[in-house]
Structure formats: C-alpha cells, structure tokens
Chains A and B, each alone.
Chain A
Amino acid sequence: MAGSRLLTYKEKDTWIHRLSGVTKMLFFLLWSITGMLTYDTRVLLVMLVFSFVIFWMSKTEWKQVGTVFKFILFFLCLNLLAVYAFAPHQGTEIYGTMTVLAFSGRYSLTAEQLFYEFNIMLKYLTVTPVVLMFIVTTNPSEFAASLSRLGISYNVGYAIAIALRYVPDVQADFTKIKHAQEARGIEMSSKTSLWDRLKKMSMIIFPLLFSSMDRIDVVSNAMELRGFGKHKKRTWYMGKKLALNDYLTIAFVVVFMVAALTITFSHGSRFYNPFV
C-alpha cells in the first residue's frame, strides 16, 4: 500500500535526538555536499565508517528503515548496471590506464571500471545513513521552529511545517480516493496499457487536487484570522536554543568538510588513482 514505506520521525532519547534540527540539517547538507564532490576513495571510506558509527549511535532500529534501505540497494544495483551498459569504459577514461580482466570488445571488463563503480557505490552508501538518520531523529515541528533561528524568514519555516504536517492527511485522502475508485470497479494495478494507466492516475489526482485546493482556502483563512504575517517575527512553541553539543557538531562537520576537500583536490583531480 502507498505510504507504508514512508520514513517518519520516532521519539527517542539519544544525544543525536537532542541536537537541534538546524544542526542536523547543516550536518546533513554539508555531509552530502562533501560526498557529492569527492571521488577520493580514501575520503569516502572514512566517511562510510563515520556514517555507520553515527547511525549506530542514533539507536535507529532496522525495522524503521529496513524496507527503504533494501529499496536503495536495489536502485544502487540498477544504477551500477546502467553505468556499465552505457559507458563500459568510463573508468579507463578517468584513470587513464586499461587493465582488462575479462571479456573483450566493447563490453570488456576492466579493473578501472570496477574501481570507478565501487566509488559510485561508496558515494551512495556514505550519504544514505545520514539522510535516514536526519529523518528519523528530527521532530518536524522543532525543525521548522529552529529554521527561524538561522534568520530564515518564518514564511519558509511555516511552509515546510505545513508540508510535513499535511503529508499524513494527504496520504489518507489518497488512500481513501484510491479505495473508492477501486470499489467502483476501476482496476488500479499495472496490467493495462500506458494510456489506460495515465487515465486511471488522473482519476485519483483530480479529486485529490481539488480537495487540496479547498484545504488551502480553509487553512489560509484560519491563519489570516489569527493574524499570521502581521509582524516581522513570531515565537515558536517548539523552538530550542543551540547547546554546546550543537556547536561541537557543526564545528566537526565544517572541519571535516574542509579537510576532505583539501585531500581530494590536493592532487589536482577529484579522483584517487591507484593505477599509476
């Protein structure tokens, strides 16, 4: 069923849960930017170890993230195969040498290609645990509240808070509409032609979208009645001040990022080359 796979916040008491949402967002952003930029295998391996240690410390259980994690691994495999299918010699192009291990011709398997794809895999795996952790350990209301502490306009914080608040409601509407349409005898599975499926998709989207347009009116009227947007600032019930641990975490990730990027680019290329 749609939505059963959705990751959600779960309340627990670890130092990671107690960190401010802003700290975790900064950590996650800088961490994924670093993971995106570097192709240095050594840096990626260190990041991988850190990711899993942090993940373990957050006491996240397998059943919270298991299905999503399996799904990611499946996509990772598909992606690796696609890279090989489209560009079997990308590795040779990057590392400049060619060590054929098996097969010959266009799809000859080279050590360079394997190493390049191993790096892609590492890139995925270093970022994934941090994203999962950010979601399962951050209270959405607290996150929206602490965004305004960063000096971001509270309109942005509110938009995000409303989005997170209404995901379950819209999800429920979606399921209800889907069941109603199925009760009317409309087959929703993927056995029919593309055009048919597009038509069936619209049978859910039309009612869903129009009920959401009504919802926008109701919510914005309610907010207007309560004087939203009247003042430049507002206070937040869930707001939290940054504590010592927050500053330490932010300092760590900034230092780590600078160090990782310095090492990565120190030899003039994003790639660590073991072949020359």
Chain B
Amino acid sequence: MNQKFGIKQVVAIGIGTALFIVLTNAQVPFLIVPNTALQSRVAVLTFFSAIYGPVVGAAIGLIGHALGDALFYGSIWWSWVFPEAVFAIAVGLFSAKYKVKAGGFGGKEIVLFNVVQIIGNAIAWILCAPVLDILIYAEPAGKVFGQGALAFVGNIVVAGVLGTLLLVAYSKVGAKSGSLTKEN
C-alpha cells in the first residue's frame, strides 16, 4: 500500500499539512508551561501516518509543524519540529499492519497501534526533543526534560484516545476486504 509514492500521497501530504496547520490553533492547554498542551493536531498526524505510512507522516510533521509555527507564532522551534517527524515515522512504519483501509482495525491492531504510538512518543518527546533543545538552544536540562515529559503525556493521550477512535471510525467506513460473498 505504501510502496508507491503516487498522486494520492502528494495530495495527502498537502491536505494533511493544511489540516495540521489549521488545528495548530485548536489546542487545550493543561498546565501553564510554555509549549505544552493537548494538541488536536497530533491526532491528525497520527491518523495520516497510520493510513499513508512513514513518508507522508514525516512530511506532514515537518512541513506542518514548521509552517504552522511560523504562521501562528512567527517563530519556529526547530528542536520540536524534528521529533514530530520521528513520531510520525514510528507510527507509519507499521501502517500496513493496522489494516485500517482493509477494514480490519480491531482488538489486536488497536493494541499494536497504541504500543507503537507510546514508544514513538517516548523516543520523540522524552529523548529527541530535550536533547535537541540542549544541543541547539543550550537550554537548562531540567526545564526541557520537564517540558518533554509533559508533551509526551499530552501526546499519548491525544494519539491514544482521539487517534484510536478516528482510526476505528475510518476503518468502519471503508469496505472490508473480502467482504464480498460468492452467490451460487
């Protein structure tokens, strides 16, 4: 499904990025710490990565985060742009296994998706983001690891709850593969 990079992938990157940018503004702050909130755009990124695979996911993460930050905040925090792509790649790598389009996103797939999602978020926000913050911006370690941990918690909630629900719903909309029965 994801082997070919065709027209659909190009358009998916475009529209996915537009969604991601628009939803930059729709977030629920849960503590007064800069740059941490329940970001609804994470659900979109998770959804597109799970359906269209790592390349589309990474592109939406990179372009969407950079453009979204620039358009809404006027500055780009590069050390948080790249972890977004890391997360999308992690989720996207297993996209064929979730069987979303084939209509088979059920119990086993949901567990797999959530395990991948949590590991991906951990690598991205507990490891990559703080380390890049320290390397690029020389910010104090305590602060950035604190922010990273909060982002990690917020993102696994959004990806786990909204992401899972969206994928289940979308999986039901499409026709199940092998759902046709032969008439005698």
CA distance A228 to B10 in the complex (A): 10
Question: In this assembly, does B162 line the interface, its C-beta being within 8 Å of a C-beta of chain A?
Answer: yes
Number of interface residues of A (CB under 8 A): 72
Within the complex, the shortest CB–CB distance from A189 to chain B, in Å, comes to 11
Interface centre among A134, A212, A270 (most CB of B within 10 A): A212
Flag if B11 contacts A198 (CB, 8 Å): no
B residues 12-35 near A (Cβ < 8 Å) are 12-19, 21-23, 25-26, 28-30, 32-34
Within the complex, the shortest CB–CB distance from A236 to chain B, in Å, comes to 15
Interface centre among B25, B30, B170 (most CB of A within 10 A): B25
Given contacts A65-B74, A72-B73, A131-B75, contact A205 B15 (CB under 8 A): no
Flag if B13 contacts A159 (CB, 8 Å): yes
Q: Is the interface of A mostly helix, strand, loop or mixed?
A: helix
Flag if B74 contacts A83 (CB, 8 Å): no
CA distance A163 to B48 in the complex (A): 14
Question: In this assembly, does B119 line the interface, its C-beta being within 8 Å of a C-beta of chain A?
Answer: no
Contact with A along B52-90 (1 / 0, CB 8 A): 000000010001100100111111101000000000000
Question: In this assembly, does A97 line the interface, its C-beta being within 8 Å of a C-beta of chain B?
Answer: no
B residues 132-176 near A (Cβ < 8 Å) are 136-143, 146, 157-158, 161-162, 165-166, 169-170, 173
Given contacts A158-B14, A194-B28, A223-B7, contact A209 B19 (CB under 8 A): yes
Question: In this assembly, does A259 line the interface, its C-beta being within 8 Å of a C-beta of chain B?
Answer: no
Contact with B along A196-210 (1 / 0, CB 8 A): 011001101110111
Number of A-B contacts (CB under 8 A): 187
Question: In this assembly, does A86 line the interface, its C-beta being within 8 Å of a C-beta of chain B?
Answer: yes
Question: In this assembly, does A238 line the interface, its C-beta being within 8 Å of a C-beta of chain B?
Answer: no
B interface bracket (residues with beta carbon within 8 Å of A): 35 or more
A residues 158-201 near B (Cβ < 8 Å) are 158-167, 169-171, 174, 190, 194, 197-198, 201
Which of A128, A155, A204 contacts B5, CB < 8 Å? A155
Flag if A229 contacts B7 (CB, 8 Å): yes
Closest Cβ neighbor of B27 among chain A residues:
A201
- 21 A-B pairs whose Cβ atoms sit less than 8 Å apart in the complex: A2-B26, A5-B25, A5-B72, A32-B78, A65-B74, A78-B32, A87-B140, A120-B137, A131-B74, A132-B74, A135-B71, A158-B10, A160-B63, A163-B18, A163-B63, A170-B15, A174-B26, A190-B28, A209-B170, A220-B7, A223-B11
What 6 A-B pairs are tightest by C-beta distance, nearest first?
A: A162-B14, A87-B140, A86-B143, A163-B17, A166-B18, A159-B13
